[in-house]
Structure 1
Amino acid sequence: MKAVIATGAGGPEVLAVSEACAPVTGPGEVLIDVVAAGINRADVQQRRGFYPPPAGASEILGLEVSGRIAGFGANVTKPFSLGQKVVALLTGGGYAAQVAVPAGQVLPLPDGIDVISAAGLPEVAATVYSNLFMTAQLQAGETVLIHGGAGGIGAMAIQLAKAAGAHVVATAGSDEKVAMLTSYLGADLAVNYRSEDFVERLNEFTSGQGANVILDVVGAKYLARNVAALATYGRLVVIGLQGGASAELNLGALLTKRAAIIGTTLRGRPIEEKTTIMDGVREHVWPLVASGAVKPMVDKTFPLEQVGAAHEYFDSGTHVGKVLLTL
């Protein structure tokens, strides 16, 4: 089958389309003919050699796809049918013509969404739902600070938090992106982190109370400022390390606020946990997508053969929302 192969660790130039062995569908798995695959930060880190796939996972990049069911392994109990349009959350293997996925990580498309746009939903929906609501227990009326609001995760987080009745503050790296976060996605306040202090702006917005929940993709670079931005009993959820992995922390500030720092990843979780998350996405997120309250954010699509150009565009940081590969 056609698949993207990394010839080494490095920039987008290491990615090439080649022939690979088709996946073998195991017990409890669904075989999917891939229509589109989403590009995620984890793919970039794997390409660079910093984020190897978990043991037993495909070496092929790609953590989310949309497509049509092409076959079943033994003991698949979920009510799928051949040819049905679906999306899937993967541990790897999405940049390919076919992928085999545990059935619990596969969902039918939300109503009203085309099969290509749907490829940008499973990873961000699962990440945001599991972290904001299952882990951080975000409640209506609370304030959430979302870093990287113009990215795929950020755009989904803003919309889901608003739909849940939270007050949303988000950061982005340009005035154009800041305007989009408020006008299109519905953030209550957007801050240009290049020209403004997000802690000061947040404190102005909350009258000094701070954020009840912070969803952070930056990591070390923002650690101290995130703790400063937390409200009493606040929850800082770190899901990315774009700004480094090591930083000093004033534990006194954390203790004074009776706050919590939680680190999570999605890719390496057991199938049972991913199944629970995806069941929650279907119950709580899919109706919002079907109603139009949550909009898929697709910035640009590239044919699979242009995977290098797609990664170069993703690396530029100019995208707003998801970048997709199509087959």
Structure 2
Amino acid sequence: MQAIENDGERLRWTTQAAPDGPGDRQVRLRVAWAGVNRADLMQRAGHYPPPPGASGILGLEVSGIVTEAGPGVEGLGVGDRVCALLEGGGYAEEVVVDERQVLPLPEGIGLREAAALPEVFATAWLNLFMEGGLAAGERVLLHAGASGVGTAAIQLCRAFGHPCFVTAGSQAKLEACRSLGAEAGWNRHDGSFVEAVKTWGGADVILDPVGASYLADNQRVLNADGRLLLIGLMGGRKAELDLGRMLMKRQRLIGSTLRARPPEAKGAILAALREHVWPRLASGQLRPLVDRSWPVDQAEAAQAHVQDDANIGKVLLSVSGET
């Protein structure tokens, strides 16, 4: 098969061995589209290695067609149009993945848009509702609101009745976030978000891909019994934690990653998406937001677009181009 090779300097579309399998409860997919995530850029730079046994090929989510089903597979068959959450291997013509990490396309959603669903909606749902335990009416602060995860999280907040405040890097991004349902926002280039968020009412849950550089300000705006979900380290990995504030306000700091979770854990997250999110995608209440796409052999250009923080929503790679 053809796949992207990362030689440490360039991304090249080359001939590589097809993945083994499918084994027990696994399916083989012909990849149509692959999503680009910041985790791919981190892996390329040597900072985010794949879990043991996972493919070293970049790519954590795809859409495609089932071409082969292994023993024990019950819910999927050859020819099914699906999207999948991966440990790696998405920048390729074929992937093999556990069936629990695969979902059928929502009604009315094609293969291109479906590739923008698995990673961002799984991340947003996991952290807002499963790890963060959002209760009725609680308020949410979303950093990097115009990212793929951010645009998914804004829509989930709107759909489930949670006011949300976003931070983003430009007025155009803030306007896009408001159009998706954000109640208020702050341009990160204007300085600290603390006073704006406090005036808004503070946050009960914060979804933060930034890390160290935002920790102190996050604590200042987090309400009593609030939860800070750390999902990334774009702003560094070491910072001072105010334990007194954490203690007196009963704040909780929760570190959360998705990639290394076992298939049964990913399956539980995707089952929740199928129950709560897929019907809302089918009805149009929620929608995948695709910023731009590139042919897979231009993966470097696609990653540069993400690295430059130029996207609003998801960036995709066209592998077979099927829709």
Question: Which string of whole-angstrom CA distances, capped at 9 and with x for unpartnered residues, describes residues 135-192 of structure 1?
Answer: 111123111000000000000001001111001101100011111111x211000111
For 2:257 and 2:104, the matched residues in 1 are separated by 24
Question: Which string of whole-angstrom CA distances, capped at 9 and with x for unpartnered residues, describes residues 25-59 of structure 1?
Answer: 11110110000000001100000110110100000
For 1:171 and 1:127, the matched residues in 2 are separated by 18
For 1:141 and 1:197, the matched residues in 2 are separated by 25
- Range 195-204 or range 99-108, more displaced: 195-204
Partner of 1:96, secondary structure, is: coil
Residue in 1 aligned with 2:28? 31
8 Å Cα contact 2:23-2:71 kept in structure 1? yes
Partner of 2:223, secondary structure, is: strand
Work out whether 1:108 is the aligned partner of 2:100. Answer: no
Equivalent residue letter for 1:64? E
Which of 46, 55, 58 is equivalent to 1:58? 55
Question: Which string of whole-angstrom CA distances, capped at 9 and with x for unpartnered residues, describes residues 209-264 of structure 1?
Answer: x2000000001110111011100000000001110111111100111101100001
Residue in 1 aligned with 2:229? 237
Residue in 2 aligned with 1:305? 297
Which of 213, 217, 221 is equivalent to 1:221? 213
Q: Percent identity?
A: 50
Q: Unaligned stretches of 5+ in structure 1?
A: none
Work out whether 1:132 is the aligned partner of 2:128. Answer: yes
CA positional deviation for 1:196:
4.4
Which of 33, 42, 46 is equivalent to 1:45? 42
Residue in 1 aligned with 2:200? 205
Residue in 2 aligned with 1:86? 82
For 2:74 and 2:274, the matched residues in 1 are separated by 17
For 1:266 and 1:250, the matched residues in 2 are separated by 27
Work out whether 1:144 is the aligned partner of 2:140. Answer: yes
Equivalent residue letter for 1:75? G
CA positional deviation for 1:315:
1.0
8 Å Cα contact 1:139-1:164 kept in structure 2? no
Residue in 1 aligned with 2:186? 191
CA positional deviation for 1:198:
1.4
For 2:135 and 2:162, the matched residues in 1 are separated by 7
8 Å Cα contact 1:67-1:85 kept in structure 2? yes
Superposition RMSD in Å:
0.9
Partner of 2:115, secondary structure, is: helix
Residue in 2 aligned with 1:74? 71
CA positional deviation for 1:77:
2.0
Which of 262, 270, 277 is equivalent to 1:278? 270
Residue in 1 aligned with 2:13? 17
Equivalent residue letter for 1:242? M
Partner of 1:139, secondary structure, is: coil
Residue in 2 aligned with 1:4? 4
CA positional deviation for 1:291:
1.1
For 1:42 and 1:277, the matched residues in 2 are separated by 19
CA positional deviation for 1:271:
1.2
Give the alignment's TM-score, normalised by structure 2.
0.97
Equivalent residue letter for 1:290? A
8 Å Cα contact 2:69-2:77 kept in structure 1? no
Runs of 4+ off more than 2 Å: none
Residue in 2 aligned with 1:318? 310
